Chains A and B, each alone.
Chain A
Amino acid sequence: MTHSDPSPPAIELRDVTKRFRTPAGSVHTALRRLNLTVAPGEFCAVVGPTGCGKSTTLSLISGLEPASRGEVLVDGGPVRGISEGIAFVFQNDAVFPWKSVLANVAAGPLFRGVPRREAVEQARDWLRRVGLAGFEDRHPHQLSGGMRKRVALAQSLINRPRILLMDEPFAALDVQTRQIMSDELLRLWELTRPAVVFITHDLEEAIALADKVVVLTAGPGTVKATFEVGLPRPRRAQEIRFDAAFVEMYQRIWESLRDEVELAYARTAAAPPSTAEPEKETL
């Protein structure tokens, strides 16, 4: 946890500002002077109110969007274009609906020039790991929401990323499936141990999963506070919620988050719909 080791952090955002031009022509500032560091293998959860620029942070790290100002470093080097060694699990389904489950998972290695036979073998391997052996020939629409998330996870992790970015990946799932997927994610994370930035609205989910929880302010987003989660691993997301240390942690972070949530809510409730800022940034 200490930064005494000589290897550079997996992710470093220095004084990053991101502005968008809205369709109406005005300028919308999504992030302002944001600083964030994630160590290799560290699991970092980012929480914050709606519209605070959480998703924007991920687009900057992945290289899908350039920063307007400041520096974005991955493995010590500045980000230019899509960075190698990064995986991204999207909020909505981003698996390819016209590809079979197997072809979806094998897509990454195939794009990167791995021979077909080897890619398919790796894909079968990862499907076994996420518990989808036997579903290779199905198409995504034939699977449940939780199963599609497993496909997305296998599709991302097969590239053995050093950094895994997750944008509210389980938000669309029902509560039980979500908890099962949390445990599943921790188990898979242990296999390759990438650095993770996990964005969520759900504070419980954030604490149950992460080493570190970062609270962002209401937009324009910047870091309000950082909390180290000292809970021991391996954890069981379904049971850790009853732990006294968990509850205490939850109260401390909620103290910090509450003002921002209320501020963000007051803004959306007060603003007339025509001038409301677009909540979801485009990629």
Chain B
Amino acid sequence: MTERPYWIAVGIVGWGAIVLYKSAELPQFDQHAHIGPGFMSTAVGVGLVVLGLMLALQIRRGVSFEEQGAEDISDTHSVSYKALGLTALACALPMLTMPKLGFVITCTGCFVLIAAAFKSNRWALNAVLGFGFSLLCWWLFSKLGVQLGGLLPVWGK
């Protein structure tokens, strides 16, 4: 990859700055253990800022970023932003629907979106399969004691 992703360095420095800012509100030293609750987080914040700057320097020098290998990916590593968007939407969907619509409907939506991201456009079949699989998981894991909530919380079920 030949691009220069300065935004990663900015993100790391930014997160380090937030950690530092929040750590500054805490005592750095105390009498008993000699280091206070803010000491470790301050050290981590400083580390992140320094490492972010070092990464920026490396990017400036033109360091290359090779994508990691994985199974099932194309040899050219060509990116489909539509598939990425659909997958991201599937991962974001639970934030929007899980508390109100419950596990089964949310997971059905996720199933259909992920299947579409992987180029399966049989929406109706995928919805039926997704619903069946989600319902089975909900029932089975609820029996095992995992608290997955009601079947349809918005209707009080």
A and B: bona fide binding partners: no
